[in-house]
Amino acid sequence: MINVEPGKTYRFRVHNVGISTSLNFRIQNHNLLLVETEGSYTVQQNYTNMDIHVGQSYSFLVTMDQNASTDYYMVASSRFTNSTSVSRVTGVAILHYSNSQGPVAGPLPDPPNEFETYYSMNQARSIRWNVSAGAARPNPQGSFRYGDITVTDVYVLLNRPAELIGGKWGTTLNGISYVAPATPLKLAQQFNIPGVFKLDFPNRMMNRPTKFDTSIINGSYRGFMEIIFQNNDSTVQSYHMDGYAFFVVGMDYGTWTENSRGTYNKWDGVARCTTQVFSGAWTAILVSLDNVGMWNLRAQNLNSWYLGQEVYVSVVNPEMTNKTEVAMPDNTIYCGLLSYLQRYQAHKVSFSGTTGVPNASRITTLVALLLTFFCGYFLRI
């Protein structure tokens, strides 16, 4: 139960922190005034409900303007799932006015019609960036008009559902199921270790068998990249990019073509870090590669992510400077081919004030081995 006062306006920040299912959020008899998503102010519009896909978040202003004859339902119910299971995946809370005249009564407010395939897509298209809000915002190459910036790289990322690849299950982007190496990518790049990864990720699906590989996108520092997600899976997928806010400029059902650019929103597409891609549809984003690092681009749906539907984008400043990337911290954990450095690291750390620890060298070696194991394990999950 959420207790509220009549006449007041409250901010509700709603996240879908699930692992596979899109949700529809609504409050009985109340409008949801959308004002923000994932750090970007939006054009303020009222909605009666909002589809929130895996990994996404929204802020709504909700005014308590009802007569409080009863309490009101707040509902988060599943979307795009088997209708027979909906009743088992519906979350319900109560909005309680301080002057409420009685408990909530009647059925839950209806969700959108599952068979109106364009409802959710049109709702997503209606979410636009507030270009007049006086606040910090992405400003690629000193211009709010991202639609006028020349695109330097184009990647059309075609996903495929889980399939057997060499006897193991995997999900892919452009025919590659990502394999996390024992040596973390950033360490391998920092120490110039060959053979850990390859900067050869294809910008389109290639006519070759699917495979497991550690293939990385070679991004151009201060470049402007166009990425098109093409969803050939039977379920809605969400994609998240670490380290960046990107502009969502277009989405539609069918297969993306060069002509699809004519439908792009080149003025006020919202800047966010997680976007949905509907089944049998595409979503296009633009991103300014101004943040140096090794950044993960992944499916948010856990089954797809775990089975390899991810890739990293390497962005390197060719000028050696600590202004675009901070130095490695003193407590860096070394794994894989660099695990031998962890022994020296352990000697630099005082784990306790105890002196004369027996078998200290064995303990240090054991710590290094455990760190190597766990570092590789958690990189995979």
SS3 per residue for 222-270: CCEEEEEEECCCCCCEEEEECCCCEEEEEEEECCCCHHHHHHCCCCCEC
The DSSP string of 55-69 is T-EEEEEEE--S--S
Q: Which of 302, 317, 339 is the last residue of a domain?
A: 339
When divided into structural domains, the chain yields a total of 2
Task: Tell me, yes or no, whether 357 lies in a domain.
Answer: no
Task: Tell me, yes or no, whether 352 lies in a domain.
Answer: no
Task: Tell me, yes or no, whether 237 lies in a domain.
Answer: yes
pLDDT at 371: 39
On whether both 209 and 328 belong to a single domain, the answer is yes
On whether both 156 and 297 belong to a single domain, the answer is yes
On whether both 55 and 105 belong to a single domain, the answer is yes
- Cβ contacts of 303 within 8 Å, gap of 6 or more: 19, 20, 162, 171
Task: Tell me, yes or no, whether 292 lies in a domain.
Answer: yes
On whether both 215 and 333 belong to a single domain, the answer is yes
Task: Tell me, yes or no, whether 137 lies in a domain.
Answer: no
pLDDT at 353 over 50: no
Task: Tell me, yes or no, whether 315 lies in a domain.
Answer: yes
Task: Tell me, yes or no, whether 344 lies in a domain.
Answer: no
Measure Cα distances from 328 to 66, 186, 194, 293, 322 in Å.
Answer: 55, 10, 20, 12, 10
On whether both 321 and 255 belong to a single domain, the answer is yes
Top mean pLDDT of 83-87, 126-130, 320-324, 344-348 is at 126-130
On whether both 309 and 194 belong to a single domain, the answer is yes
Please name which of 288, 311, 8, 374 lies closest in space to residue 159, comparing C-alpha atoms. Answer: 311
Residue type present at position 33: L
Task: Tell me, yes or no, whether 69 lies in a domain.
Answer: yes
Please tell me the pTM assigned to this model.
Answer: 0.88
Comparing 57-71, 202-216, 283-297, 346-360, the range with the smallest average pLDDT is 346-360
Supply the DSSP symbol for 326: P
Question: Once rounded to an integer, what is the mean pLDDT over residues 364-381?
Answer: 38
Task: Provide the phi-psi class of 312: left if phi over 0, else alpha when psi is between -120 and 50, else beta.
Answer: beta
On whether both 302 and 193 belong to a single domain, the answer is yes
On whether both 25 and 113 belong to a single domain, the answer is yes
pLDDT at 361 over 50: no
Question: Once rounded to an integer, what is the mean pLDDT over residues 103-122?
Answer: 92
What CATH code is carried by the domain that includes residue 12?
Answer: 2.60.40.420
Q: Is 318 exposed, middle or buried (0-12, 13-18, 19+ CB in 10 A)?
A: exposed
On whether both 107 and 153 belong to a single domain, the answer is no
Cβ contact 158:205 at 8 Å: yes
Supply the DSSP symbol for 48: S
Label residue 88 by pLDDT band (50, 70, 90).
low
On whether both 213 and 111 belong to a single domain, the answer is no
On whether both 169 and 285 belong to a single domain, the answer is yes
pLDDT at 300 over 50: yes
Residue type present at position 10: Y
Q: CB-hemisphere CA count at 13 Å for 50?
A: 30
Mean pLDDT computed over every residue of the chain = 89
On whether both 45 and 158 belong to a single domain, the answer is no
Cβ neighbours, 10 Å, residue 280 = 14
pLDDT at 365: 39
Render pLDDT for 171-185 as a digit per residue (tens, 0 to 9): 999 999 999 999 999
Domain that holds residue 211: 146-339
- Cβ contacts of 302 within 8 Å, gap of 6 or more: 19, 20
- Cβ contacts of 280 within 8 Å, gap of 6 or more: 231, 232, 253, 254
Please name which of 213, 189, 223, 381 lies closest in space to residue 302, comparing C-alpha atoms. Answer: 381
pLDDT at 369 over 70: no
| SS3 at position 106 | coil
Sign of CA dihedral 299, 300, 305, 311: positive
